[in-house]
Amino acid sequence: MGYLLPAEYEQFGLPADTTDDWITTASALMESYCRRPSLLATQYVERVRLTANSQTAVPSYNPLAIVAPNTSALVAARIRYGQPRRGELQEPFLAQVAWAFSIPGSWSDLDPTTVDINPQTGEITFPRNFLGLGYNEVEFTYTAGLVTIPDAVKVACAQVVRNAQATPAMNVRANKIDTMQMQYFSSSIIDPQIQSLLRPYLAQRIG
């Protein structure tokens, strides 16, 4: 979807007769730059390996989003104590006990309400298991993105359209804009000012 409504075109410096395909393509370029399917609230599933002596994971996509009252951005979580990597084995005795009870490799569902979430940084901190060992692998489902589109994103969208229209090879009269052509010129269309506006929404990891 586009990040600007037709009624907002003039408010953000675009002519009222701007066609919707400009907005749609500009929005797609912004999503491509941020390496995410949408800037709007979207549900993601990630599996990450926790750093030794750390129970904290940082989602690839931020900001975390609460889409309904009395709900959490964390939808579900599974956690396990997998075979430790080199340098991760901090308590050999407890690890041997864990292996005796077949804890390694087995996934356990975790109550999302027991997980600490920092809404400012997006950090998710998981509790330790009953043996005091830190889990080292987690799979979590969460919601991240924009519930309401802020003015910064609308300004960025309008600026992308203006940059595209100011690019000689793009400034052509056509009923439909060629997305591949827009992608070719994306490095000049998404200028440093736009990059600054979109920085909070950049994916931290790819994959």
Spatial separation of the C-alpha atoms in residues 14 and 51, rounded to whole Å: 47
Q: Are residues 20 and 90 in the same domain?
A: no
What pLDDT does residue 148 have? Answer: 94
Q: Cα 136 to the chain's mean position, in Å? A: 22
Domain termination site, one of 121, 144, 167: 144
Count up the domains in the chain and report the number. 2
Give the domain-ending residue among 98, 113, 144: 144
Residue 170: domain span: 6-38+147-201
pTM of the model: 0.78
Q: Cβ neighbours of residue 142 under 8 Å, at least 6 residues apart? A: 43, 44, 46, 59, 64, 73, 74, 75, 124
Query: Is residue 88 over pLDDT 60?
Result: no
Residue range 19-37, pLDDT digits in tens: 999 999 899 999 999 999 9
CA dist list (Å): 112 to 58, 116, 140, 179: 15, 9, 9, 40
Residues 207/63, Cβ–Cβ less than 8 Å: no
**Least confident interval from 98-107, 173-182, 193-202:** 173-182
Tell me which amino acid residue 88 is: E
What is the model's pLDDT at position 203?
Answer: 94
Q: Percent of the chain having pLDDT more than 70? A: 72
